[in-house]
Structure 1
Amino acid sequence: MSVLKGKKILLGVTAGISAYKTAHLVRLFIKAGAEIQVIMTPASKDFVTPLTLSTLSKNPVHSVFYEKKDKNELWTNHVDLGLWADYMIVAPATANTLSKMTNGTVDNLLLAVYLSAKCPVYFAPAMDLDMFKHPSTTENINKLQDYGNHLIPAGVGELASGLIGEGRMAEPEEIVSFIEKDILGKLPLKGKKVLITAGPTYESIDPVRFIGNHSSGKMGFELALTAANLGAKVVLISGPTSQNIQHSLVKRIDVVSAEEMYNTVFEFYKNVDIAIAAAAVADYTPVTVASEKIKKKEGNLAIELKATKDILKDMGVSKKNQFLVGFALETNNEVENAKGKLIQKNLDMIVLNSLNDNGAAFGGDTNKISIIDQSNIISEYSLKSKEAVASDIFVEILKRANV
């Protein structure tokens, strides 16, 4: 999954021959999972049609402040557009537009949105060789970078004039790749390794039956996705669950029993920076597992159980530089029990949730948590989606972890 998934992108198209490439660029942004709106300068419509870009982006194309032919004369709010975006890309960025961006000349909607944008702005120059090499163009490009804009370098190749040289707009694939790499390089967990356990474990009684719990794994999977979106390489060790995850930075390993989860955790634990034990691991497992299905008989059935290995406790014992986070699902004396677990298992932080809170039970899409750290500071959160809860947890981790 691309780091652009779910991001809001403004694409500014100006009047250069390479504007024809923006149709493919829009397709690539959509394929990456981004939401995109296109702003065109009036003259750019001579090179690519608004209908093409609106069809591909699935949004109306913006070009003027208001449509004079429309009796209602609806105003296109450039400020709202600028605030809407997570990223803005001007491609192609002609010499004319570069000059206007540098000097704050606002004679079209695109320039007004650019000056209103609060998000990172990328620009991909496109012009003929001599124009690109002109001192004024060089100065404008340097100034735009000094202002905090991000240059997507022009390529070398055959230009519209027939000359061969620098000034060709980067190809759409290069533009998307450049932005993805730039975003990843600035993420707070770039280069870090995170281990997350998720879901239940199943402890076999016989070839058919098992002891398990109602954990869906949703919380752990949301944590894994959040960590990956922050730039981390994630090892997600999951018990049996129907949850799915697709992200290039997430390595999923499926296990079944507590013993399998224990062995897999300690295969990776020593090399990670952050570990989050979100799995609902069985505390007990049958002493013996029947080789054949146990037949129903009169009377009660007694199954002797033994304690499973305490994964979280052993992670705490062997902890070196890892930032270790545990979960506490409680039904009574919640805070007291969570604080005890924090100390006993040598955790850096514990996430507490209670089955007494509506919407915080296994299997749901929401959770209500409190976070307690080693200084006994308690941060309480309202009921939220598990996606939002995962974000809150990583905000707290980043405040405390030395990563």
Structure 2
Amino acid sequence: MAGRHVLLVVSGSVSAYKALELTRLLRKAGARVTPVLTAGGARFVTPHALQAIAGEAVHQDLWSLAGEAEIGHIRLARMPDAVAVVPASASFLARMAHGLADDLAATVMLATDRPVLLAPAMNWAMWGHPATQANMDLLIARGARVVGPGVGAMAEAESGPGRLAEPAEILAALAALLAPEAAGPLAGRHVLVTSGPTHEPIDPVRYIANRSSGRQGHAIAGALAALGARVTLVHGPVALPPPPGVRAVGVESAREMLAACEAALPADAAICAAAVADWRAAGEAAQKLKKVPGQPPPPLALALNPDILATLSGHARRPALVVGFAAETEKVVANAVAKRQRKGCDWIVANDVSGDVMGGAENAVHLVTEAGVEDWPRLPKQEVAARLAARVAARLGGAEGIAGGMAGEVPA
């Protein structure tokens, strides 16, 4: 980011305070930051604080005689290397999508020809509303890039998708936006990866889980990022750090994982490597289940978890390429072939997990596609990830994808 110039638009959201930290990180990385503050944004951060951290005047008023003496809104729109809207509220996204020019920030967005990064932040219900999703689809189709939102607790004592991405994630997204020429064959592509297990609570102490370490999924996310993809990694409870340059969203349960995956759409590809628990407790006990002397164990009723792979395969905003994993202990290839048909996905990566694969450093997989079955040798998981990432790049082809800013079919 050294020597780069970012126009930072701060719109109205309680998470606007994170724009101050982003400004600090950008300046530390050597970038120049010119802030534009909306009236809503000024409800949450003061222009004095933003100006002090940016080291530049904060622009707020479209009708400022001094600022518009040289048609300031056009100059602001054209002078930076990129424009970042952090946070991007539902209202501001709607105004952008419909070309309104009723204040300085909206006018700048209408006039700019620079790359645009949006970091949405709002209540989960507002984010999931069809109007907001339609506005996002429209902005992405026009070329805007998106980072976030994440899933988690909100100011309204609610939880769900809609949290502003962390400043470090936004900084990484800006760096990738401004250096596409060095990013590799997946530059401009957005890939969703799931990794690790899910934990399904039985009571406040116990849960249903499996032995997945997340090593293979995390390796795939890192390999895709190394080829230039913008990667959203939705992972369950793991002891691994996220790979460099990857936006990580941590979840616990299968239902949280599905919500985070849907929040990450649109994407050019989805790689579902997580070992999602098939079942959860039908009712989570509010208190720890106690062992009572002389009494049998309490019954444990189970309910089916959502099928994330099948949901993404049949989603209205289905990625052009959907890849699932099949962890099998018998009839590995036959079960994987049947699973590909049943789930409606494009590829299945099948492996025999009866040995030391879960938690181990190596894997032997079979790639099941519409063309047939490829048997790969036993390899380090990093090498399996590199091979799969290369196949994804070859399948998607080109640098401009649906999620990267161009609507239409991705060539097979």
The TM-score, its normalising length taken from structure 1, stands at 0.52
Offset of residue 302 of structure 1 = 1.2
For 1:326, the equivalent position in structure 2 comes to 324
Residue 194 and residue 288 in structure 1: after superposition, are their counterparts in 2 closer, same or farther (change >3 A)? same
Q: Which amino acid aligns with 1:350?
A: I
Offset of residue 213 of structure 1 = 0.5
Within the candidate set 384, 388, 395, 2:390 is matched to: 395
Aligned partners of 1:313 and 1:346 also within 8 Å: yes
Aligned length: 221
Aligned partners of 1:258 and 1:282 also within 8 Å: yes
Residue 276 and residue 182 in structure 1: after superposition, are their counterparts in 2 closer, same or farther (change >3 A)? closer
Q: Secondary structure at the match of 2:210?
A: coil
Aligned partners of 1:196 and 1:220 also within 8 Å: yes
Matching of residue 311 in structure 1 with residue 269 in structure 2: no
Within the candidate set 344, 347, 351, 2:345 is matched to: 347
For 1:302, the equivalent position in structure 2 comes to 299
Q: Secondary structure at the match of 2:217?
A: helix
The TM-score, its normalising length taken from structure 2, stands at 0.51
Offset of residue 287 of structure 1 = 1.0
Q: Distance in 2 between matches of 1:226 and 1:392?
A: 9
Q: Which amino acid aligns with 2:320?
A: Q
Offset of residue 268 of structure 1 = 1.3
Q: For 1:75-118, what per-residue CA distance to the aligned partner results, in whole angstroms no more than 9, with x for missing partners?
A: xxxxxxxxxxxxxxxxxxxxxxxxxxxxxxxxxxxxxxxxxxxx
Offset of residue 399 of structure 1 = 3.2
Q: Which amino acid aligns with 2:224?
A: A
Q: Which runs of 5+ in 1 are unaligned?
A: 1-176
Offset of residue 320 of structure 1 = 3.8
Give the 5 Å matches for 1:106-255.
Answer: 181=179, 184-185=182-183, 187-248=184-245, 250-255=246-251
Q: Which amino acid aligns with 2:392?
A: I
Aligned partners of 2:221 and 2:243 also within 8 Å: no
Q: Which amino acid aligns with 2:390?
A: V
Aligned partners of 1:347 and 1:374 also within 8 Å: no
Give the 5 Å matches for 1:266-305.
Answer: 266-269=262-265, 271-297=266-292, 298-305=295-302
Matching of residue 259 in structure 1 with residue 255 in structure 2: yes
Q: Distance in 2 between matches of 1:182 and 1:237?
A: 24
Q: Distance in 2 between matches of 1:246 and 1:323?
A: 22
For 1:368, the equivalent position in structure 2 comes to 364
Q: Distance in 1 between matches of 2:352 and 2:395?
A: 24
Q: For 1:39-92, what per-residue CA distance to the aligned partner results, in whole angstroms no more than 9, with x for missing partners?
A: xxxxxxxxxxxxxxxxxxxxxxxxxxxxxxxxxxxxxxxxxxxxxxxxxxxxxx
Runs of 4+ in 1 over 4 A off after TM superposition: 180-183
For 2:165, the equivalent position in structure 1 comes to none
Offset of residue 401 of structure 1 = 3.0
Q: Distance in 1 between matches of 2:301 and 2:283?
A: 8
Q: Distance in 1 between matches of 2:312 and 2:279?
A: 18
Aligned partners of 1:192 and 1:232 also within 8 Å: yes
Q: Which runs of 5+ in 2 are unaligned?
A: 1-174, 399-412
Residue 346 and residue 238 in structure 1: after superposition, are their counterparts in 2 closer, same or farther (change >3 A)? same
Q: Which amino acid aligns with 2:191?
A: V
Aligned partners of 2:186 and 2:227 also within 8 Å: yes
For 1:385, the equivalent position in structure 2 comes to 380
Higher alpha-carbon Rg: 1
Q: Secondary structure at the match of 2:297?
A: coil
Offset of residue 309 of structure 1 = 0.8
Aligned partners of 2:271 and 2:322 also within 8 Å: yes
Q: For 1:227-268, what per-residue CA distance to the aligned partner results, in whole angstroms no more than 9, with x for missing partners?
A: 1100011100010000112423x1100000011001111111
Offset of residue 321 of structure 1 = 4.7
Q: Which has the higher contact order (CA 8 A, sep 6+)?
A: 2
Q: Secondary structure at the match of 2:286?
A: coil
Aligned partners of 1:201 and 1:257 also within 8 Å: yes
Q: Distance in 2 between matches of 1:332 and 1:212?
A: 21
Q: Distance in 2 between matches of 1:313 and 1:223?
A: 20
